[in-house]
Amino acid sequence: MFADTDFILALLKESDWLKENAVRMLRENRGKIRTSSSVMIEVAIVCKRFGISITAAFANALELVAVDEETHKACLTAAFYVEKYGLNVFDSFNAAYCGTERIISSDSAYEKVGIERVKLENKGG
């Protein structure tokens, strides 16, 4: 089964109109539910909008639903970049997936987290 954002948010929030059904579905299907980085990005955006710790939300969500190893690592790294360095959610995930590679971008935000940037705005990079 694939989990959409509303399923994960219903589980994470104290109160949600979908919580009872989400808890039941989780109980009945634990270990068989997976999700994707795009869902986790959406969860992060909602968390940031409402001042909820992305790190805590991801730690909880990743205990409830499965993601591949690369996505798991990217989620935790991205949450760190948002909360420690103030990167936006999209840049944080880009930086997390970039890892130790150089990134082609005009956005200097990546330099905050130590990623070497190939400056798109300069002729010749």
**Length of the chain, please?**
125
Where residue 124 falls among pLDDT bands split at 50, 70, 90? low
In a domain, 85, yes or no: yes
Identify the residue whose tokens are 């070497």: 116
Are 125 and 104 in contact by the 8 Å Cβ rule? The answer is yes
Are 67 and 93 in contact by the 8 Å Cβ rule? The answer is no
Task: Give me the domain span that covers residue 22.
Answer: 5-97
For the stretch 26-81, pLDDT in tens is 999 999 999 999 999 999 999 999 999 999 999 999 999 999 999 999 999 999 99
In a domain, 109, yes or no: no
In a domain, 72, yes or no: yes
Residue of 4, 75, 88, 5 lying closest to 49 (CA atoms): 88
Any long-range contacts for 96-102 (C-beta under 8 Å, 24+ apart)? 97/70
Stretch (H or E) spanning 105: strand 103-105
In a domain, 120, yes or no: no
The percentage of residues in the chain with a pLDDT greater than 90, rounded to a whole number, is: 96
In a domain, 125, yes or no: no
* 121: helix, strand or coil: coil
Where residue 96 falls among pLDDT bands split at 50, 70, 90? very high
The percentage of residues in the chain with a pLDDT greater than 70, rounded to a whole number, is: 98
Into how many domains does the chain fold? 1
